[in-house]
Chain A
Amino acid sequence: MAAESIPFIILSTLFINNFVFSMFLGLCPFLGVSAKLNTAWPMGVATTFVMWISSLSAYLLNRALVAADLEQLRLIAYIAVIASAVQLVEMAMKKLSPTLFRALGIYLPLITTNCAVLGVALFQTTREYSFLQSMAFSLSAGAGFTLALLLMAGLRERLDLVNVPKVAQGSALSLLLAGLLSLSFMGFAGLGG
């Protein structure tokens, strides 16, 4: 797996194996913050940033842990790094844009428990990506997550204006919608060989 070229990794994580639609990672914020376009966008960027930071640190940490023969601590070390990165983003956002900070609410600290972030760190370790491959992987995973969030938010903004049967309101409808989006993303399968 380590021989994958950078463009292939980008194409693959962005579309073919999109984190949300075909790997089922990061579904909580995907269903949670996708109600409005103007919160979906910053959420996507914040998550991408955290993914990139944690991928970078996970790469260095993994080398250190392997060198010290302490691989059983990998999971604990990764999650500690992610939690710190989220704290950093939270502090920055509180300072730079308090309105946005309030709009994202509980979902900002919850980036820590976004499985997509830990997923990036774990997958790059099991696939033995090199440094450049890891960077490409984490950035395109974040971009793919943002893409999914924006698509869903666009659809849900339209849905607010439509008269939906009472039984289907809320989460049931979002899930069916996500299913349709996921179905259309399956069309990318086989792209790039």
Chain B
Amino acid sequence: MATRRAEADAVLLGVGMVGAMVGRELTRAGLKVVGLERGEPQFTVPDFQGPHMHDELRYSVRKALMQDTAKETFTFRHAANETALPIRRLASFLPGTGLGGSLVHWNGQTYRFQDSDFRLRTHTTERYGKNFIPADVTIQDWGVTAAELEPYFDRFEYLMGTSGKAGNIKGRKIAGGNPFEDPRSREYPTPPQKEPYGSAMFRKAASSLGYHPFPQPSCNLSQPYTNPEGQELKTCTFCGFCERYGCEHFAKSTAQTTLLPALLSDPNFELRTGCQVVKINVDNTQKTATGVTYIGANGEEIEQPAKLVIVGMFALNNVRMLLLSKIGQPYDPASGSGVVGRNYAYQTTSSVQVFYDESVNINPFMRSGANGTLIADFVSDNFDHGPLAFIGGAYIGEVMTHGRPIEFHPTPPGTPSWGSAWKKAVLQHYNHTTVLNIHGSSTAIRQNYLDLDPTYKDAWGQPLLRMTFDFPDNDIKMSAYLTDKALEIGKAMGGQQVVGSPRKGPYNITQYQTTHNTGGTVMGTDPSTSVVNRYLQSWDVPNVFVIGASNYPQNASYNPTGTLGALAYWAADAIVTKYLKSPGPLMHI
């Protein structure tokens, strides 16, 4: 029998960035909140300190800050007629674990999705006609606009202290920023980071081709900053150990550096770590959640009753939790009916390598996770797709994040993978190569989805999440077109040799691509195509809110975190100002 704890006003599933943000808003509104985190507590001091943090083997290769796949992983197949097999070691994507979640190890690349992203189906149909969208492409609108989210984007960036340059303040274009961005209400909280050598060469080349380069918005801060929660952040030192590492310098905006000290000292908040939530409990009407059941670190089963349940875990784990709890109808790809697990999407990334001669010292190790230069000329629908016959786009940028040599030792095509010639090539090119990133959107299609695996289980005996995914033809076409555009910029950068590698199928789970997994608990205004409404509230069980990149109906060109931060504040605001006053559905159909 489960031990039953006293009822909380709200329970958080996961205390990562989303949990910390929503937890802070709810405790401020006077609610008693219990935060359940599966991993360990971890803080800048003593956990992320140098020099031991600068250990490429432990953190990048052995993935010390990530979900432990010995206990809990995912299964994967390309198509519904194949057998999914467990991802026995993480590689393609890296969900974090522990207090602060994946933002502990993120790079800090902080963008706002565009209005045309939020209205993708409507916008595409309006501009290119109904027949432009292929039948199996299930892209849809989000149910919110960029203008509605602007105050929440603004609040998130000011929480984080984001370093960047505005390109459009209230409709007025600003030189040096991103000219394609939707109007923002004010400048970034801190100016852009310093521009490294490769980025400067990219800026020059992109300008010469008529594009509009701008500095990458960064949550590795360019100067000290005190946020509205009273937390003090410091200046990034460009140490080159950002993605997959905790930051010892208090320079990367994370839950630890922006919110947790305030939240953890609030008597309305109780953090419990080592708690593996196994399901959300619902009453016999199936319309009200009564709380959650979790297994404590010592194996004890505990029931935590709560009036409000906030699901704020990694995107894939949000989807799995709803499936395990039987909340919402699971998606069936054969009939196209059902919603939970529908519209799983990813990110279509590719690269261009620019090899210089040995007189050009790139010094790739002098980087932060987000101090590059990029163009948005090919983001989303910022260019005419009419003659191209694909949907979506990408930013192209020199956005290298490090020069750590186990992961980064580029060699030109034709170099053997070992032996004398390999070693010579590695030595010759290590400090004289830069890489352009083509960071592309991901289209939702009928065949790509998430459900529970029928065979493989986690350490608690529960089914793993099964991923059925391959790159849609649309995205392969997009990647080919935009990798060519990046190749032209690379050639204008003056390298000796420039090599483009467009994304090609099949999807390979063994190579790191990105941790931008999206969809499965899609938001929207129609319960037949969404799991949560525009306020991220479950259509089926209104006292459950699901917040994560799992809400994205499809993935856009930019990195997803900035938009998720805005959505978390948007949902928290709806809970505090609407739901708490009158608990029940916030949208009626």
Q: Is this pair of chains taken from one and the same complex? A: no
Name B residues whose Cβ lies closer than 8 Å to a Cβ of A: none
